[in-house]
Structure 1
Amino acid sequence: MTHDHPATPDRGLSRPFGRLLTAMVTPFTADGSLHLDGAVQLATYLVDEQGNDALVINGTTGESPTTTDAEKDALLRAVVEAVGDRAQVVAGVGTNDTRHTMELAAAAEKAGAHGLLVVTPYYNKPPQRGLLRHFTAVADGTSLPIMLYDVPHRTGLAVETETLVRLAEHERIVAVKDAKGDLTATSWVTSRTDLAFYSGEDSLTLPTLAIGGVGLVGTSTHFTGALVKQMIEAYDAGDSGTALTLHRRLMPLLTGIFRSPGTILVKAGLNVSGLPAGPVRPPLADATDDELALLRADCAAAGLDLPE
């Protein structure tokens, strides 16, 4: 056993949403309709079998660009009822319209969400002062804790360090889903604020822990959740050797799930595993046979079986 830092279970860090979260896909029926019973079954599996401390509902992985506000509300209510007594349910409410985001935040709070995930406004590329106003307005309008989602490769815009430092002053902005892929920038923010940083890149979970991160909001964790949680707990306990072994073992799947948008391959893997997922909605496209074969190879390389 390798002890590279004191064996303190939480490393003195705040974990407002636990260690492991999965950004859950939204199950659809064969005709593309919302499959609420499937969502309940999948959420239960992710919490009870894969060990998630929280689930993110209505995120990008949940195909939020193509679900209606009414569908988002129905999905959130079903998942809260199914697992909300033993896991936190975090509602994705971010849009590129501040008023719409505030409306979704209010609806999510009314539906029983435990927290909100608010993505950087996309496409319209506001200045940093606009981001500050946007996130602050959403936080002012809710009583729920907020996780910011910094994902410049999707939104075209990063939340800069100084903006994050200022946002951290708001009592309800407590965490960041960090998909920036800039560990130097993240290091500056974790050293200057109390924001809880969750890796938004599955493969960067362990490096993020090393610079003060607290966990993962994952996609491959539909399959790897139990092992990723074991990796995080090993690191927290001071056993960096075990954490590194698990990180290396899981790398083929932590990275391979993103050969195409993660939703596509997660749904393909769940479907062949007998778990509810169904098709993706256009403009996404369901996995090809070749893509599914590569996913099976990634799973096998990580020591996990995907049924034929």
Structure 2
Amino acid sequence: MAQSTEKKLTGLVAATFTPFTAQGEVNLAEIGPYIDYLITTQGVNSIFVNGTTGEGMSLSVAERKLLAEEWCRKAKGKMEQVIIHVGCTSLKESQELARHAVEIGADGIAVISPSFFKPRSAESLRAYLQNVATAAPTVPFYYYHLPGLTGVNVPASDLLEGIETLIPSFRGVKFSGSDLMDFGQCINHTQPHWSVLYGVDEQLLAALALGAHGAVGSTYNYLGSHMKKLLSEFESGNLEQARSLQFKMQELISHAVKVGFDVGVNKQLMAEVSGLQLGPPRLPIMPCPKVHAVSIKQKYQHLFSVH
């Protein structure tokens, strides 16, 4: 694969929510307006589809294909990059989704570790990822590191050792863990054409100080414009201003955690802020009580002066 023709994945990437109807079916009609909202209101031009925020592991393979296809189709010519998460507990299904991502013109694929039968070592995790990558050898491949949910505590920096020999299409890590030492070691051992992206939104500034190339997160759906400002303040050396924005985000998330911040609450907050019809989450995640979403939205408006 010619690295020179690829665009390196940097900046803010919104981890998209999956729109559902009130009956809990996939709602493709909302994807076009969603993309327009991200571009025009938030200034976010890359997306990460069918991940944790998108409830990807609660979707069927058929639903994931439908969604991936629609996100790619509607983003074509508008967005810089569409990364499709194809990780499953089943290797065969993950390979199927990887092949499909190639067919629909995705800009990259990401794979989370299986979380029922767990890899016990970097070697077994590398072998699993290699087997998924072989199904889509021409597409940039990212490892999605999320130990808090997968229970797989293999350090991401260990995984990187020799990975490009096994996976020539390897292009980086979506690092959604809080271990900044492991994250730092990923940066320290990165290749020039890799992207190490941070996924814990409330610690973005710390990750930038360690050399993060960008960030993937759910809050960039509705805080994208403010967090882009954080990136530019950091790049300009205005640490005080960057800290101020990070602390505001932390205050919002702290408030949200107190009322019970999960994917369902986050999804409802996005709907309240954007006006998009995103529907309820899928069980076992429970719908967000309206009072919680309103409370978090008020906090959001107070902190970021959105009127």
Q: TM-score, normalised by structure 1?
A: 0.88
Cα distance in 1 between the residues matched to 2:236 and 2:76: 28
Q: Is the 8 A contact 2:108 2:140 kept in 1?
A: yes
C-alpha change, 1:118 and 1:255, in structure 2 (3 Å) is farther
Q: Deviations over 1:139-166 (max 9, x none)?
A: 2331111121111110010232222233
Say which SS state the counterpart of residue 56 (structure 1) adopts.
strand
Equivalent residue letter for 2:114:
P
Q: Which residue of 1 aligns with 2:240?
A: 241
Q: Which residue of 1 aligns with 2:186?
A: 189
Q: Which residue of 2 aligns with 1:152?
A: 147
Q: Deviations over 1:159-192 (max 9, x none)?
A: 3222223325543211211112100111122112
User: Given the alignment, which residue of 132, 138, 155 partners 2:132?
Assistant: 138
Cα distance in 2 between the residues matched to 1:209 and 1:41: 31
User: Given the alignment, which residue of 168, 173, 189 partners 1:171?
Assistant: 168
Say which SS state the counterpart of residue 62 (structure 2) adopts.
helix
Task: Give how far 1:111 is off.
Answer: 1.5
Say which SS state the counterpart of residue 133 (structure 1) adopts.
helix
Cα distance in 1 between the residues matched to 2:44 and 2:257: 20
C-alpha change, 1:92 and 1:261, in structure 2 (3 Å) is farther
- RMSD of the alignment, in Å? 2.1
Q: Which residue of 1 aligns with 2:27?
A: 35
C-alpha change, 1:145 and 1:112, in structure 2 (3 Å) is same
Report the count of equivalent residues.
293
Cα distance in 1 between the residues matched to 2:213 and 2:65: 29
Cα distance in 1 between the residues matched to 2:252 and 2:7: 25
Establish whether residue 26 from structure 1 lines up as the match of residue 18 from structure 2: yes
Cα distance in 2 between the residues matched to 1:53 and 1:97: 31
Q: Which residue of 1 aligns with 2:286?
A: 285
Cα distance in 2 between the residues matched to 1:269 and 1:84: 27
Equivalent residue letter for 1:148:
Y
Q: Which residue of 2 aligns with 1:6?
A: none
Task: Show structure 2 runs of 5+ residues with no match.
Answer: 1-5
Q: Which residue of 1 aligns with 2:264?
A: 264
C-alpha change, 1:158 and 1:32, in structure 2 (3 Å) is same
Equivalent residue letter for 1:18:
T
Cα distance in 2 between the residues matched to 1:72 and 1:135: 19
Q: Is the 8 A contact 1:219 1:262 kept in 2?
A: no
Amino-acid identity (%): 25
Task: Give how far 1:131 is off.
Answer: 0.3
Task: Show structure 1 runs of 5+ residues with no match.
Answer: 1-13
